[in-house]
Structure 1
Amino acid sequence: ILVHNLAQRSSLIDYISSILKKTSNIHSLKIIYNHTGEPFINIEKLSSIIPRSIKHLQISITNLDEMKNILEQLNQLSSVTFYSLNMSYYYEDIMKWIKVKQKNSIYRRGLRCIHIWLEISMNNNNNNGKNSMKKVFHRIRHKQIS
């Protein structure tokens, strides 16, 4: 768990960047903050510093555009969870966008969040990984129907 004191002179992006530069084998990253309705972090800048090794991301967002930016910029992700107090306001727009832009993805709505398993996982050249992801997706779909 990393805590950033906003009273420090360095920006949060610089703080996160310096930590990520010192790591080489991180596959999951969680950046959650108290929602105030105002963006706490510049998503475009954040997207530019997240290493390609990150495959699973959990992050707070304040609007639909932030979600789109993350999905478009971080195409190495296998899964992502977006958290927002306002998720219910744009959940339908998110679902429509995912169906168009991330066709083979699966999503599941949670309380103030949406979990998305991205199509890149199914396009993996490793057949064992491909088959295991298909099994996971099948179980998720089956739970959504029941």
Structure 2
Amino acid sequence: MKKLVYFVLFVFTLNVAAQEQYTWNTDYKSALQLSKSQDKPILAFVVNQQQSEATELLKAEFFASASFKAMASKLVLLKLDVSDQQSYNARMGIHYTNQRTAPGLALVGADNDAIGNPLVSFTSESISDFLGFINSKL
């Protein structure tokens, strides 16, 4: 029994250590300053407090992909929670994704302009295309 407990603990520790940890900015202004000072584009991830199929698909096929892991250090990661429709984040989320709902992804330049079209329709193909698009802009 003791060996089983150690084995489970060992597997859990490996699993936790293997997970990628990214630093997500939640303040748009600080993300913009980082973008300018580091000469990196911003990847704006528009979310709300509700889980959806689209969010799960993004987690599985976008954020867990080798492509994203390879380019994450070349981006300023910004998470905009649009749960409060009256917030500044909601206005920025609408501005970048051209929609009032979440989730959505947009690539933003240091000059505060969107680069290309946002990802708001979630299929495996559209996610793969957006990853390729981001990679082409880095």
Interval containing the TM-score (normalised by the shorter chain):
under 0.3
TM-score, normalised relative to structure 2? 0.28
Structure with the largest fraction of helix: 2
Q: Compare CA radii of gyration and give the structure with the larger one.
A: 2
TM-score, normalised relative to structure 1? 0.27
